[in-house]
Amino acid sequence: MDTQIINEDNERNHDIERIHQLASELLPFSKDIDPHTHQLPEININLQLQMLVGLLEEMHPADMADVLENLPPKERALVWQLSNPEEDGEVLLEVSDSVREHLIEHMDEDELIAAVEEMDADELAELADSLPEKVVVEAMKEWDETERAQVQAAMSYADHQVGAMMNFEVVSIRADVTCEVVLRYLRRFDKLPEHTDKIFVVNQEDILQGVLPIRKLLVADPEDLVADVMVSDIVVFRAEDDVEEAAAAFERYDLVTAPVVDADKKLIARLTVDAMMDVIREEGETDMLNMAGLREDEDLFAPVMRSVKNRWVWLAVNLVTAFIASRVIGAFEDSIAQIVALAALMPIVAGIGGNSGNQTITMIVRALSSSSISQAQTVVLMKKEIGVALVNGLVWGSVMGLVSYLLYGNLGIGMVMVAAMTLNLLLAAVLGVLIPVLMEKFGKDPALGSSVLITAVTDSGGFLIFLGLATVFLL
């Protein structure tokens, strides 16, 4: 089985590379392609075109999304033009927001309506903000009031709330019927909603009573009542809950689906594992971007000015902090002039401090993303990180102190290296805990620019500590 998976993955990657190559070769002829037959007059080039169309028709929507995200704009537009229109809606759901915006720009109103009119309420709600209002209205024209209300309900919640990710395909039963009745009821469906691992048990007012796992239903005595077989101790979410906390609960309790209830505990929808996996992936990508000082997801091939707007803020912050670090060095010009070795050694102190600080911040941001850290826990973490920094500082400071002594034959320089590296690592440990904790306390993403900030502090702090100690003890 493992070998088969590897082979399929290699074949998929080969197909993606071939699509990239064919799209680039066909780009000069894109204006001559018949939009209905996907044909070109030139026979040789037409063979390549048909090969590309064939590859695209066989691709899963998720793989198609991957291809589109990794193509430059012109090739992307060509591939999107040639792709299977019946899967346009699924592909739009899979691609990133920035690429989705680009694809929608290349679709007319009728194409957009055709792409979304067969979507479920939760899927249309997910795309609604990216679509023209007229398209959304047209897509819902044939829907009943219940489906329209579901879309409006999902759209009324913020992106970070569970309500925005709700799935309205819910199968529910009563507790006072037998398992045989439930099985007969399920056989009436053409197919069950995806990721159905449990059936929700409600009373006459739709108040959630519990769940009946499919695996228990299949082995239960047909004459058993649902009330005797169902599970009452379950994980339940409200539409107002934070979606990242919900995703963490899915991971913690190995959930496939979970009920969503309103303030009166009425069952209104469910959450599914595929949606929560998307949340976990997006959360990880967002934290990675924020730590690097990027404000939002960015199309790899976005226009230059759009990328500039996305990146300039933290570059400006970094420029200011770098200037401060240069002024710290400037304040010790006389010391550096007298002991030239200081200029060669001070980047080591700053560099190891920044590396250690980034390690600490990564650990704290990860902890904050999975749970709330109390004040008492902050103190414990601070003590632990200070201990780690002290040990690392003494060990690696001693190593560099010995190396410095061997290089320059000056015991004083070696001792200053030990002290400076230890103190800068301690500084990095303290701020590596405080920066993300304080940012979360003030309602900011703890990962936002944290890497930039800790590097700035350890650079300036490292230079100040090292050069300051050298000035006091060596001159």
pLDDT digits (tens, 9 = 90+) for 271-319: 999 999 988 888 877 777 766 666 556 667 777 777 777 777 777 888 8
pLDDT bracket for residue 5 (50, 70, 90): very low
Output the six-digit token pair for 383: 């003590």
SS3 393: helix
Q: What are the extents of the domains in the chain?
A: 1-160, 172-272, 304-474
Q: Which CATH number fits domain 1-160: 3.10.20.30, 1.25.60.10, 1.10.1060.10, 3.90.780.10?
A: 1.25.60.10
pLDDT bracket for residue 86 (50, 70, 90): confident
pLDDT for res 21? 87
pLDDT bracket for residue 9 (50, 70, 90): low
Average pLDDT rounded to a whole number, residues 238-257:
93
What CATH number labels 172-272?
A: 3.10.580.10
Average pLDDT rounded to a whole number, residues 314-343:
87
Helix, strand, coil percent content, the chain, rounded in steps of 5: 70, 5, 25
CA atoms within 13 Å, Cβ hemisphere of 87:
18
| % residues pLDDT > 90 (the chain) | 40
DSSP class of 63: H
Cα(155)–Cα(177) distance, integer angstroms: 35
Output the six-digit token pair for 390: 């002290």
Q: What is the pTM of this model?
A: 0.73
- Worst-scoring range by mean pLDDT, 33-37, 174-178, 290-294? 290-294
Output the six-digit token pair for 133: 């209002």
| % residues pLDDT > 70 (the chain) | 93
User: Looking at this protein, which amino acid is placed at residue 214?
Assistant: I
Cα(474)–Cα(470) distance, integer angstroms: 5
CA distances from 399 to 59, 166, 328, 405 (A): 55, 56, 26, 10
Q: Which residues of 403-439 are buried (b: 16+ CB within 10 A; e: fewer)?
A: ebbeebeeebbbbbbbbbbbbbbbbbbbbbbebbbeb
User: Is the backbone of residue 449 left (phi > 0), alpha (psi -120 to 50) or beta?
Assistant: left
CATH superfamily of 304-474: SLC41 divalent cation transporters, integral membrane domain (1.10.357.20)
Residue 191 CB-density burial (10 A; 0-12 exposed, 13-18 middle, 19+ buried): exposed
- Whether residue 109 is predicted with pLDDT greater than 70 in this model: the reply is yes
β-strand partners of 271: 258
Output the six-digit token pair for 200: 């929700």
pLDDT bracket for residue 7 (50, 70, 90): low
Element containing residue 436 per DSSP (H, E): helix 411-441
